[in-house]
Each structure stands twice: as C-alpha cells, then as structure tokens.
C-alpha cells in the first residue's frame, strides 16, 4: 500500500479523503472504498459492502450536510476498512437521532443508516445540533475479534502531496500500550522517509522507557531530515507523555478540565533536548490525543463540549475535519485511558 519510499518497504497508506461537495463524489467515495477494501485484505462480498456503506454515508452528506467529508483507511492491526464521515450539520444530525432512538421513517432517511449499522462490524455516531456529526463504520471479516483497545487515528498528507510526512503507530498489545506520532520535517518524500525510519525503529524500541525510545529514534534519524516526535504510554489511571517538537498532547474528559502538554523544542535526529517525561491522570472514559502541527492547536484552548465527549474512535476525524491546515501533513491518534 502506498508507493515505496526510496525502495524501502512501503508505508501503510495514509488516510484517503473524499470531500463530498457534489453528487458525483458519492460514487467516488464508494469506488475508492471498494478499491481500498481489497487492498486492506477484504474478500468475497466485503469490498462491495464497504462500497455500499461508503455510498450511504456519502449520500447522506451530499443530501443533508454542510462541508461533508469521508475518510477511508485500513483498520489498524486486522484486515478491514474504516469509513469515517464528518460534517458541520445539520442533516446527518436528524438521521443520527432517528437511528439512536430506534425511530423509523417511511422515507429513505432512517433505513439507510440502519443498513450501515447492520453491515458494519462496528458503527459509532455522535451528533449535536450546531456542531454536526461524526460517524465511523468498520468493515471487517465476520470472525474478527473486537479491538483490544479503543483507539482512533487519522493520517492525512498535505493537499496535493502523494507522500505523507507524518507517521503513527501503537505498540505493546500485552504490556503498557505505547503510541507514537512522528512528523518528518517539511513534507513530501524526504519527510515520509524520516517518518518511515522512525516507525521502523519504534518496532524494536517499544518496550523501553520513553526517554530510551526517544534516544533510539534520535540515533536512527541522524541521516534523515529529522522529525518531531510524541510518545504516549498508558498505565492504569494515568499516562506518560514525552514530546520533542510540535507533537502535542491533550487529555479530554466529559466533566473535568482538559489538560494540554507541548513537546520540548528540538528536532529528533539533529538537536535532541534532554527527554522529559510528564505524567498526567488518564482514566477509563477519558481520552488522550497526540497530534501533529497539521492540526491547528487552537482547538485545545477551549474544546467544545461536543469534542470533550467524543469517543477515541471519532475524535481524530473530528479534529482533522475541523482544525486541519491543508498545507501540512496532519495526524491525530487517540486512546482511552485504562
Ligand atoms: Mn508538520
């Protein structure tokens, strides 16, 4: 998936974005979903089902929503396609209410999302008048066990770029889960190579302490253009964050005050500051999100109640849709506390 980077192993494909700004985009979303579903390892009727789900979500956006977008990407860790939809209201809101109330209509409105829910291995939707809607549907083989952990991610290349200079990964299925977001300096292929090098190095470092991981990444990135790095490790009731450069952390909670943390100035691979680990309370029901500077950090100064309540599966799509800078690669990765 994705082109090879200087002949090295290809990076998993970044998130594919289809803006629903015209009816023709509905067909585009469906055909891209079918095509990416095949590349994600789905077989039999599943690619067509993925196309049907993408078509339904996109057609709702086309008919009823303002500023609608569909994101398509592999489900991390298992064969499968994730289809995310986001808008700024108002139409999807009505549909989602019908769905969550079990309310049926004689029109095509409720039935469409009901079908999406039946076909999908997992379907989540959140909506609020004035805020819009975010939805996620996962198409996976019938025997797929549910995700071990509640996470979400979106990784978008800068507009017009083939390569994404950001990377992200989660490791530690058994031990303390550890997430990495990396932003190769600049964008395009050299940035992608730096991000790719960091991801490969992270595979062998993930069970070390966070400062050791940063130092290991620093060594492996010496011959690249360097990167900003953010690491997040979950423990019961808390998390550790270690950041260098513009990979920020925000911890969101429906009722409590949110917490923000910024990385220390520096470039991993070039001038590494002494890595500093900071601990932050993070419990079940709270969500931590690591994000690159392709998402404007302004949102985190006063997150809306809608964002504060989003589950980890939906938060990255909402941030990318509302706060993305189109001239930079943009990544967000979220995890729920343990
Ligand atoms: Mn960037």
pLDDT at 297: 94
Claim to verify: residue 171 and residue 133 sit in the same structural domain: no
Instruction: Give pLDDT tens digits for 76-121.
Output: 778 899 999 999 877 555 555 556 544 444 444 445 777 787 788 7
Distance 45 CA to ligand 1 centre (A): 38
pTM value is 0.91
Residue 173's pLDDT band (boundaries 50, 70, 90)? low
Claim to verify: residue 104 and residue 162 sit in the same structural domain: no
Claim to verify: residue 158 and residue 133 sit in the same structural domain: no
Cα separations (Å) of 62 from 20, 43, 184, 279, 291? Answer: 6, 28, 35, 44, 29
pLDDT at 90: 73
Residue 25's pLDDT band (boundaries 50, 70, 90)? very high
Length of the chain: 338
Query: What is the domain extent for residue 213?
Result: 151-336
Claim to verify: residue 122 and residue 159 sit in the same structural domain: no
pLDDT at 94: 58
Q: Is the peptide bond before 90 cis (omega within 30 degrees of 0)?
A: yes
Q: What angle do helix axes 91-100 and 46-64 make, rounded to 10 degrees? A: 120
Distance 199 CA to ligand 1 centre (A): 16
Instruction: Give pLDDT tens digits for 37-88.
Output: 999 999 999 999 999 999 999 998 898 888 999 999 998 778 899 999 999 8
Could you tell me the CATH number of the domain that includes residue 286?
3.60.40.10
Claim to verify: residue 182 and residue 298 sit in the same structural domain: yes
Claim to verify: residue 243 and residue 197 sit in the same structural domain: yes
Distance 122 CA to ligand 1 centre (A): 31
Claim to verify: residue 210 and residue 326 sit in the same structural domain: yes
Where a domain ends, among 83, 115, 139? Answer: 139
Per DSSP, which regions of 140-237 are E strands? 151-156, 166-171, 178-184, 227-235
Listed in sequence order, the DSSP H helices in 72-209 are: 91-100, 109-119, 189-203
Tell me if 9 is assigned to some domain: no
More confident residue, 5 or 169: 169
Tell me if 11 is assigned to some domain: no
Tell me if 145 is assigned to some domain: no
Distance 265 CA to ligand 1 centre (A): 14
Instruction: Give pLDDT tens digits for 289-323.
Output: 999 999 999 999 999 999 999 999 999 999 999 99
Total number of domains in the chain = 2
Tell me if 144 is assigned to some domain: no
Task: Give SS3 for 300.
Answer: helix
Claim to verify: residue 124 and residue 156 sit in the same structural domain: no
Tell me if 5 is assigned to some domain: no
Distance 51 CA to ligand 1 centre (A): 32
| Residues, Cβ < 5 Å to ion ligand 1 | 183, 293, 328
Q: Give the mean pLDDT of the chain.
A: 89
pLDDT at 274: 97
Claim to verify: residue 130 and residue 157 sit in the same structural domain: no
Tell me if 2 is assigned to some domain: no
Could you tell me the CATH number of the domain that includes residue 75?
3.30.565.10
Distance 55 CA to ligand 1 centre (A): 32
């Amino acid at each position: 998936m994705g082109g090879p980077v200087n002949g090295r192993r290809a990076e998993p494909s970044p998130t594919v974005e289809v803006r629903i700004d015209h009816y023709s985009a509905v067909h585009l979303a469906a055909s891209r979903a079918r095509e990416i579903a095949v590349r994600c390892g789905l077989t039999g009727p599943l690619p067509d089902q993925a196309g049907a789900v993408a078509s339904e979500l996109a057609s709702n956006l086309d008919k009823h929503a303002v500023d609608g977008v569909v994101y398509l990407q592999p489900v991390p860790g298992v064969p499968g396609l994730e289809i995310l939809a986001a808008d700024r209201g108002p139409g999807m809101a009505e549909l989602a209410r019908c769905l969550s109330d079990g309310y049926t209509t004689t029109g095509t409105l409720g039935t469409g999302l009901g079908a999406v829910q039946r076909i999908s291995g997992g379907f989540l939707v959140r909506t609020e008048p004035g805020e819009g809607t975010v939805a996620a549907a996962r198409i996976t083989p019938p025997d797929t066990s549910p995700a071990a952990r509640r996470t979400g991610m979106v990784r978008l290349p800068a507009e017009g770029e083939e390569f994404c200079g950001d990377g992200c990964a989660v490791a530690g299925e058994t031990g303390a889960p550890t997430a990495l977001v990396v932003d190769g300096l600049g964008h395009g292929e050299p940035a992608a190579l730096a991000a790719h090098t960091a991801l490969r190095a992270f595979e062998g470092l993930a069970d070390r302490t966070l400062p050791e991981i940063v130092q290991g990444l620093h060594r492996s990135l010496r011959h690249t253009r360097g990167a900003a790095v953010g690491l997040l490790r979950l423990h019961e009731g808390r998390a550790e964050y270690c950041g260098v450069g513009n990979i920020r952390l925000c911890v969101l909670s429906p009722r409590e005050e949110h917490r923000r943390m910024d990385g220390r100035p520096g470039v991993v691979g070039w001038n590494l500051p002494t890595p500093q680990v900071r601990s932050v309370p993070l419990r079940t029901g709270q969500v931590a999100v690591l994000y690159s500077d392709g998402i404007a950090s302004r949102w985190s100064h006063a997150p809306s109640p809608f964002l504060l309540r989003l589950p980890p599966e939906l938060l990255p799509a909402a941030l990318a849709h509302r706060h993305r800078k189109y001239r930079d690669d943009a990544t967000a990765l979220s995890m729920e506390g343990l």
